[in-house]
Amino acid sequence: MTPSTRIAILGLACFSFTLAGCGQDRHPSYSTNLRYGIRQDPIVIEPKELGDDRYEPDRPGVLPLMNISDIQKPDHPYHKKKDRLEVALRDPRLLSDKDRESLEKGLEEMFGTPAHPKVDIKAGEGFDPKDLDVLKVDATTLAEGSKLYRVHCLHCHGVPGDGRGPTARWVNPHPRDFRVGLFKFQSIDRTTKDGNAELPASRADLLRTLRQGIEGTAMPSFNLLQDKELQDIISYVIHLGIRGKVEHWILKTNFKPKDGTLEYDQPNEPLSNLLAEYARTLAGYWIAAEASENRIIVEPYPYDNNNLEQIQASVKRGQQIFLAQISPEFTKEHALNVVTRPIVAKRMAEALAKKRESTQDPKAQLTALEKAEAQKLTPAELADAEKVAYTKESLEKAEGKLKGASCVSCHTNYGREGKYRVDTWGTLTRPNNFVMGTFRGGKRPVDIYYRIHSGINGYPMNGFGGTFKGNEEYLWDLVNFVSTLSYPPMRERLAIRID
């Protein structure tokens, strides 16, 4: 072969690279041979053992819990805890071959493969497979979703939704691990008796995250995709969420370490029965997350944004609640509110009764203007109310009931000096710095309301919806205050000082 022929062949080879990708399906599917497989990374059993004393975020290229052998390296953030790892973590790689096979088979029967995903959960214990319709996890939708996921999501969120795709270790905060079955930014009411603690996000919440992205993280906006494409992706994410959590759950509860391996602790119960039981429960959580009664009911915004005095007062109250240093004036106002609220409520009900024609939600019917009108008390009524409210006993009672949220205890110096804390996924994140004006869960007032009302799942941010039940205007005060902080001219206009 002469040198020139060689070069000609090389040139042709280079040219053929430019044709790569031509004429193929735009969203090709996974190979049919690909399996989800059983997870390799350890499960956190005792998060406390890993501790909260890490003080810096992961270095680029490090995922905190990739696998146990990684943690043995001295530059790993959990290296200091290496003696406690056996207690804190469970290593699925210790599964016996037999258990691994039956687990893999059981999961594949229910959830299929990446190329042919399905959610096939058998009926039982009050679970009817038809209930799954609200989650839209039929095989056709999932197959479409799987293709789109492969193109748009896989490189960060990984094939089984483990948040360990090839790019995951280079972005911080790391991508969401769907197998935990929790999502930070959602609108589930967590002030109920059982706390709805296990409920993941609803489809609407996931759609909003996909459309808007998560500001301040590597999660971009996907709002240029068609609505149907986004819906398909959401269905597929739900599928991954249920599958991953079933696997997570059974490894966590039913496999115990023994002599350097993991042993199944229910020898009399076939593994597939347990898997089906867990899948039913988890699918139930996802279905419950769709139910409207589990969503946060947002109380109407009580102020007129064009009324500077009202907003000033609201923001000031917001600051007091934030700092939990409640002034005597606030207590007085609150005591007066306690007296006047029943009068106002009665008046509103009357106004509503006059207007009622349909069986619509009564609150929605009462327009803002009517509400403002109904709230007005005559000076005589106000004087009467003040007489009752400003007695020593009612003031003391009001003071006792009036609680600040003490947001400042975590959002130190309005978040400017917040301390890093570890979330459920093992990522180190800080309470929001409100002066920066980035809200990961969304910038809308109602998004901030959701966060204050029900907290952030998987992060030590508590909800205050319970604390302020019946006094939701204080939640709005907090929303107003918090969204003012990043705008210096507005702080000035509203006479707020944060230095």
Closer to another protein at the Cβ: 28 or 300? 300
Do the Cβ atoms of 201 and 234 come closer than 8 Å?
A: no
Closer to another protein at the Cβ: 315 or 338? 315
Least distance in angstroms from the C-beta of 475 to another protein: 11
> By three-state DSSP, how is residue 367 classified?
coil
Q: If binding is defined by CB under 8 A, does position 390 make contact with another protein? A: no
- Stretch of 197-205, 245-253, 258-266, 483-491 contacting another protein, by CB under 8 A: 483-491
* Of the candidate residues 35, 84, 332, 371, the single one contacting another protein (CB under 8 A): 371
Residue 233 to residue 231: CA distance in whole angstroms? 5
Q: If binding is defined by CB under 8 A, does position 490 make contact with another protein? A: yes
Residue 119 to residue 242: CA distance in whole angstroms? 9
Q: If binding is defined by CB under 8 A, does position 362 make contact with another protein? A: no
Q: If binding is defined by CB under 8 A, does position 369 make contact with another protein? A: yes
Q: If binding is defined by CB under 8 A, does position 149 make contact with another protein? A: no
Residue 329 to residue 350: CA distance in whole angstroms? 31
In a 13 Å sphere around the CA of 353, the CA atoms on its Cβ side amount to 6
**Residue 208, CA distances (Å) to 214, 215, 219, 238, 443 in order:** 10, 12, 12, 15, 12
First to last CA, the chain: 78
Least distance in angstroms from the C-beta of 334 to another protein: 22
The DSSP output letter for 41 is S
Q: If binding is defined by CB under 8 A, does position 445 make contact with another protein? A: yes
Residue 266 to residue 271: CA distance in whole angstroms? 8
Closer to another protein at the Cβ: 141 or 484? 484
How many C-beta atoms surround the C-beta of residue 254 within 10 A?
A: 18
Q: If binding is defined by CB under 8 A, does position 351 make contact with another protein? A: no
Q: What is the enclosing helix (H) or strand (E) of 311?
A: helix 308-323
Q: If binding is defined by CB under 8 A, does position 372 make contact with another protein? A: yes
* Of the candidate residues 443, 462, 466, 467, the single one contacting another protein (CB under 8 A): 443
* Of the candidate residues 9, 368, 383, 388, the single one contacting another protein (CB under 8 A): 368
Residue 352 to residue 373: CA distance in whole angstroms? 12
Least distance in angstroms from the C-beta of 494 to another protein: 10
Least distance in angstroms from the C-beta of 57 to another protein: 16
Q: If binding is defined by CB under 8 A, does position 312 make contact with another protein? A: no
* Of the candidate residues 40, 305, 327, 413, the single one contacting another protein (CB under 8 A): 305
Q: If binding is defined by CB under 8 A, does position 433 make contact with another protein? A: no
Q: If binding is defined by CB under 8 A, does position 211 make contact with another protein? A: yes
What is the total count of residues that contact another protein (CB under 8 A)? 39
Q: If binding is defined by CB under 8 A, does position 488 make contact with another protein? A: yes
Residue 441 to residue 128: CA distance in whole angstroms? 34
- Per-residue contact string for residues 214-253; x = within reach of another protein by CB under 8 A: -x--x-xx-xx-----------------------------
Closer to another protein at the Cβ: 254 or 432? 432
Q: If binding is defined by CB under 8 A, does position 8 make contact with another protein? A: yes
* Of the candidate residues 124, 270, 300, 362, the single one contacting another protein (CB under 8 A): 300
> By three-state DSSP, how is residue 454 classified?
helix
The DSSP output letter for 112 is B
Amino acid at 347: R
Q: Would you put residue 470 in left (φ > 0), alpha (ψ -120 to 50) or beta?
A: left
* Of the candidate residues 446, 458, 462, 466, the single one contacting another protein (CB under 8 A): 446
Closer to another protein at the Cβ: 78 or 476? 476
Least distance in angstroms from the C-beta of 223 to another protein: 6
Token pair 């959590």 is found at: 245
Do the Cβ atoms of 396 and 388 come closer than 8 Å?
A: no
* Of the candidate residues 29, 113, 167, 281, the single one contacting another protein (CB under 8 A): 167
Residue 67 to residue 70: CA distance in whole angstroms? 6
Quote the distance between the C-alpha of residue 339 and its chain's center.
38
Angle among Cα 489, 492, 495 to the nearest 5 degrees reads 150
* Of the candidate residues 146, 196, 209, 212, the single one contacting another protein (CB under 8 A): 212
Closer to another protein at the Cβ: 131 or 215? 215
- Taking the alpha carbons of 268, 272, 274, 277 in that order, is the dihedral positive or negative? negative
- Stretch of 60-68, 247-255, 271-279, 367-375 contacting another protein, by CB under 8 A: 367-375
Q: If binding is defined by CB under 8 A, does position 16 make contact with another protein? A: no
Q: If binding is defined by CB under 8 A, does position 57 make contact with another protein? A: no
- Residue (of 450, 464, 29, 14) closest to 236 by Cα position: 29
Q: Which residues of 172-181 are buried (b: 16+ CB within 10 A; e: fewer)?
A: bbbbbbbbbb
Token pair 């056996």 is found at: 86
- Stretch of 251-259, 303-311, 402-410, 413-421 contacting another protein, by CB under 8 A: 303-311
The site for another protein (CB under 8 A) is made up of: 4, 8, 167, 211-213, 215, 218, 220-221, 223-224, 298-301, 303-306, 367-369, 371-372, 437, 443-447, 449, 483-484, 486-490
